[in-house]
Every structure is written in structure tokens, then in C-alpha cells.
Amino acid sequence: MITFEQVVKRYPDGTVAVDDLSFEVPEGEILVLVGPSGCGKTTSMRMINRMIEPTSGLIRVDGRDVMATDPAELRRGIGYVIQQIGLFPHRSVADNIGTVPRLLGWQQDRTDERVEELVEVVGLRAELAERYPHQLSGGQRQRVGVARALAADPPVLLMDEPFGAVDPIVRGHLQEEFLRLQAEVRKTIVFVTHDIDEAIVMGDRIAILAEGGVLQQLDTPVKILAR
């Protein structure tokens, strides 16, 4: 469903952020990219939705070469969840979640229904929909971020340290609830973290990165036991 074949990214200043990276994420699974800061995790994610273009190598999403796909069309199929700064501060929770449906020209009724449904799906109380991001706790904001990424039901999710900005107890809840949701929605997910414990909890597979390349790939206990 998502494949990297010998992908290299060299930035204009000469920094090689990703060096000969290859991996595969089967449909409906979570691949966790884990590794220290600066090892190329975010660069890899951004190449999947073409926010950054690879210097060489091939990236496919659902069989299609991303470099040969219209970026707007590509991004319609890819939800993106990032740490902290992802929400529009001057829009209510409901407006934030409805961003993509609005861009896609959905009718207001349909957008409203979808927003209402998602608020519940990610475990937020209904009355929070009218609040603004600064009126939410860190954990609540991350839930809004997940809801927004799921709004138009994209088959692929990119999650870049999505639970990184909250305390460990809240993080544990978010991880647990997200996995319960994933068991139903079965998105194909690339999940980035620098926390090995989180990688083991969240991943079907883990790719350990170091200096731009994969050091080792392994199946997590969850995956091994599921066979």
C-alpha cells in the first residue's frame, strides 16, 4: 500500500536526510518509524504526501508513483496528524474537523453530521465542538487533530509524534483508544516516534532508523501473536 524503494533525500544545503531508505506498509497496518531526532523521520513522512520531493528512489501509495500523481489528489487520500501546532487557532473545534470536507465541497449538513460523529469517535464531549483550540487540554487537542485527519475518511494516515505533547498518562489513553479505533477503521498508517515503548505499543511493524537508513525492521509482539 505504501512502499519506499531506495529513497534518498538530499536538501539543497547538501544534508542527506534520508539515505537509501526502503520499506513497505501493507494495507491496514501501522508501520512505526522510530529513531533519534534528526534521523530523517519527518522528511520521510513529508515525501509521502509530496510536501518534500525525493532526490532519487521511488515512493508508491496504493500502487501509484507519488511523483506522477497530482499533489492535491494525492493529499485527499492522506490524513496528516502532527504534534501541537496542527490546529487552526481561530477556528472552533467543529470548523477544524470540517476543514477537509469543506475543501472537498461537501454540503453543510453532511459536514455537520460527520463532525458530530467524529467528535464522539475520538472520545470528546459534544459541547467541546464549539470551543477554540486554546480552550482545550493537550490531550483534547490531539483528539481534535486525529478527528480532523479522519474527516474525509482517507485510506492513509501519516502520524508524526501525534501523542508527543501530552503527559504519559494521557498518552497511554490516547494510544489505547486510537488502537481500538484503528481496529475498526483499518487505515494504512506510518507513525513516527522517538519513543521505543510507543513504537512497540502502536506498531504492527517497526523500522528502526539511523542516519537516514533502516537499521532493522521487526514485527511487534502484537503482530507475531496475531498470526
The answer to the question of residue 135 lying near ligand ADP (CB under 6 A) is yes
| Strand pairing report for 64-65 and 78-82 | unpaired
Closest CA to 166 of 226, 89, 84, 92: 84
β-strand 16-25 against 156-160: which pairing, if any? unpaired
Answer yes or no whether residue 136 interacts with ligand ADP by CB under 6 A: yes
Q: Which of 26, 38, 71, 221 binds ligand ADP (CB under 6 A)?
A: 38
Can residue 93 be called a binding residue for ligand ADP (CB under 6 A)?
Answer: no
Rg (CA), the chain: 17
Task: Identify the residue among 92, 96, 140, 193 touching ligand ADP (CB under 6 A).
Answer: 140
Q: How many residues does the chain have?
A: 227
Q: Which of the stretches 23-31, 78-86, 134-142, 179-187 binds ligand ADP when contact is defined by CB under 6 A?
A: 134-142
What is d(CA 80, CA 214) in angstroms, rounded to the nearest whole number? Answer: 22
DSSP letter assigned to residue 56: E
User: No. of H helices and E strands in the chain?
Assistant: 9, 10
* Whether 226 contacts 206, CB under 8 Å: no
- 13/70 with CB nearer ligand ADP: 13
Cβ–Cβ under 8 Å, residues 166 and 89: no
**Cell output for 159:** 502520524
Looking at 11-19, 102-110, 150-158, 214-222, which segment touches ligand ADP (CB under 6 A)? 11-19
| Window 144 to 173, contacts with ligand ADP (CB under 6 A) | 170
Residue 107 C-beta: closest distance to ligand ADP, Å: 30
By CB under 6 A, which span of 33-41, 53-61, 93-101, 144-152 interacts with ligand ADP?
Answer: 33-41
Number of residues that bind ligand ADP (CB under 6 A): 19
Q: Which is nearer to ligand ADP, 101 or 139 (CB)?
A: 139
Contact 4, 54 (CB under 8 A): no
Q: Is 40 in the site for ligand ADP (CB under 6 A)?
A: yes
Chain contacts with ligand ADP (rule: CB under 6 A): 11, 13, 15, 17, 37-43, 134-140, 170
